Structure 1
Amino acid sequence: MKKQKIEIQLEVFENLSELPENIQKLMNRAQQARENAYAPYSHFRVGAALQLSSGTIVTGNNQENAAFPSGLCAERVAVFNAGANFPNESIAHLAITARSENKQTTEAIAPCGACRQVLSEYEQKQKSPISIFFMGETGSIIKVGSVQDLLPLGFSAKYL
């Protein structure tokens, strides 16, 4: 039996001021989007902001529904928005921030599994990595250089 080890690379920034200026702006847009989230059930607001290859910023936030499976996460709202409105542009960076209305969120909140799969598909489609920066309401920010760092054994169209 052959064993292999999967390793990921990430960077940790202690606060927003340590981020590059363009990523600080992107995270600020994600924070603004977070406050407009529709989260009457979970009381957990998530905002996402994408920077496209042209420099255009596209935002999204979680949208809940009483029929729970009908809602959509912030990351997918932003990615699908970009795919629908800017189909020929690639996604360079993604910033994500989350906060709970019930307690302070100080740990970095990574994308859920469904969002990781969607991001993986877009990364494969554009044939270039998407760097992802994620945080809670406050605290440190984690950066991964590619969706593959979050989903190393992802499913793709090559299996179909």
Structure 2
Amino acid sequence: MNATESISIKAEANISDCGKYRYWLSRIWDESKPIGCFICINPSKATAIYSDQTMGNCNNLAAAWGWGGFYIVNLFAFMATDQSDLKKQRDKVGPLNNKAIKYICEKSDVLVLAWGNEYKSRAREVLSLLVDKNLFCIQRNKGGGFLHPNRIKYENFPQPVSVDIG
């Protein structure tokens, strides 16, 4: 006999009216469990319906860690699949990104820093929004930055991390 597994997943993407900025993305399947938040560099083209590699990896990590879902926010809200496009953009952050980061991080139980080594000045700005929060990372990379979800294994669990915003 076969068993059928079924689950409802609430998927959201908060995208600017102009379509250039994505402020957050989420997949929530069990609100009785912890909800995590990955803080990455910038969004690509994933939406509420379309998943990319990062979205799939975050989904699998969240499930492996026993979470009931997750959010993704980014240092920069400008959507770009190529980092060179991000670097050329004048307003990478987006007009509502800091507000969105604070809002989503308030709703999340676990905050995972995952933005790599670059953009140290912007990283300090974002960390200043999170001064009262318990912060985690999966692993540090060779340069001391925080590994991105596409570069970690499912058996690695988030560990508390202390950061200096000075």
The reply to whether TM is greater than 0.5 is no
TM (normalized to structure 2)?
A: 0.31
Higher share in helix: 1
TM-score (norm 1): 0.31
